[in-house]
Amino acid sequence: MHWLELLSDYTFQNVVIGASLLGLISGPLGCFAVLRRQSLLGDAISHAALPGICLSFIITGSRDLGGIIIGSLVTGTLAALTMLLLTRKSRLKTDAGLGVCLSLFFAVGIVLLTYIQGTRNAAQGGLEAFLFGQAAATLRSDLWVMGAITLATLALLAAFWKQAKLVTFDPEYARTLGMPAAAIEAVLTAMVALAVVVGLQMVGVILMAAMIVAPAAAARQWSRHLGGMLVIAAGVGIISGVSGATISTLSRGLATGPLIVLTATAIVLLSLALAPGRGLLWGIVKHYRQKRELHTQQLLYALHKHPQTPPRLSPSARRTLAALTRQGHVARSSNKAGVALTASGRARAREVVAAFEEATP
């Protein structure tokens, strides 16, 4: 398909806009869930949305997106608040509470879905698509609803920015200042539920948890500040959505939701490997530099204490000696039988010896 033809395609436009809205809302809100060590929160809320979808269909008799969003928002928020109640009023840890709520609400959803399928209602067709998403079925009217939810949620986050930031990093201090920390946590949880309902049409209840966690996990590798992390997470979410939608449209047969999640996962893996300061590759390079510097200091110390080169050098010591020679710190001695420190080499060696003697008790 030609690019101009692709850009003018009605379905592609809807999918790209919907995926962008999903990334825009799920990335920033996922940061708060990850930083509060509630990465499973998105998973629990997304699975808990299934009974809301089914109840909405049972009550209205149709698959209207507005009703489905309201139903999934109610049950998703109820599951999150149940989790908070369990962890506060019992000895259950957060992950255990999330697991209980996830299993309970998803099981109820499966029971309701099975009941609906047994009613032989003609309108039930495609209801199971909300399990894995059906991005191609997104309409312009759906985009208006998704856009309104996204803007309202981000506006609410901006209004409670300082409070949300303080409760995320130091809830005890927030309580000492008189802030209603529990209420703010409930608002943050409700906003995650809003992000989940935005993604139901695009990626479904099964994969939505990845869109909450993946952009935030990638952004955490690139930024040490919350504001920068939120911006990067939103960018990762949008890039994942647009890329997955484009690949799905060009491939003609691959599902959009899984491709969006796979793209986000690929970005996470690249971030884990390449992010400066935290990436695995950066760690390998840093370890190599530290090891090389240690060998350099050891050789300078040895040449300072024993001016003549030791008779036998290991391969790594010979490489270090060659590097010091290129840097002008070491030169051939006058008798050509060994090497000796130059003026710059002696100055650096004295610094090494002084640092060693200072560190040695």
Pick the CATH number of 281-359 from 3.40.109.10, 1.10.10.10, 3.10.290.10, 1.10.3720.10: 1.10.10.10
The CATH class, in words, for 3-275 is mainly alpha
State the pTM of this model.
Answer: 0.80
pLDDT per residue over 70-114, tens digit each? 888 899 888 888 887 888 787 778 778 888 888 888 899 889 888
Q: From the DSSP assignment, how many helices (H) and strands (E) are in the chain?
A: 15, 2
Residue by residue, pLDDT tens for the chain (361 residues) are 566 777 778 788 888 999 999 999 999 999 998 888 877 788 888 888 889 888 888 888 777 777 888 888 899 888 888 887 888 787 778 778 888 888 888 899 889 888 887 777 655 556 677 777 778 788 888 889 889 999 999 999 999 899 999 998 888 888 888 888 888 888 888 888 888 888 887 888 888 888 899 999 999 999 889 999 999 999 999 999 999 988 888 887 788 888 999 999 999 999 998 888 788 888 888 888 888 888 888 888 877 777 665 556 677 777 887 888 888 878 776 655 567 777 887 788 788 778 777 766 6
Answer yes or no: are the C-beta atoms of 55 and 113 closer than 8 Å.
Answer: no
Answer yes or no: are the C-beta atoms of 206 and 132 closer than 8 Å.
Answer: yes
Residue ranges per structural domain of the chain = 3-275, 281-359
Distance CA 309, CA 252 (A): 69
Distance of CA 68 to the CA centre of its chain: 27
Residues 6+ apart with CB under 8 A from 313: 321
Please provide the distance, in angstroms rounded to a whole number, between the alpha carbons at the two ends of the chain.
73
Name residue, tokens 């920015």. Answer: 161
Distance CA 332, CA 323 (A): 14
Distance CA 320, CA 141 (A): 67
Same fold, 3-275 and 281-359: no
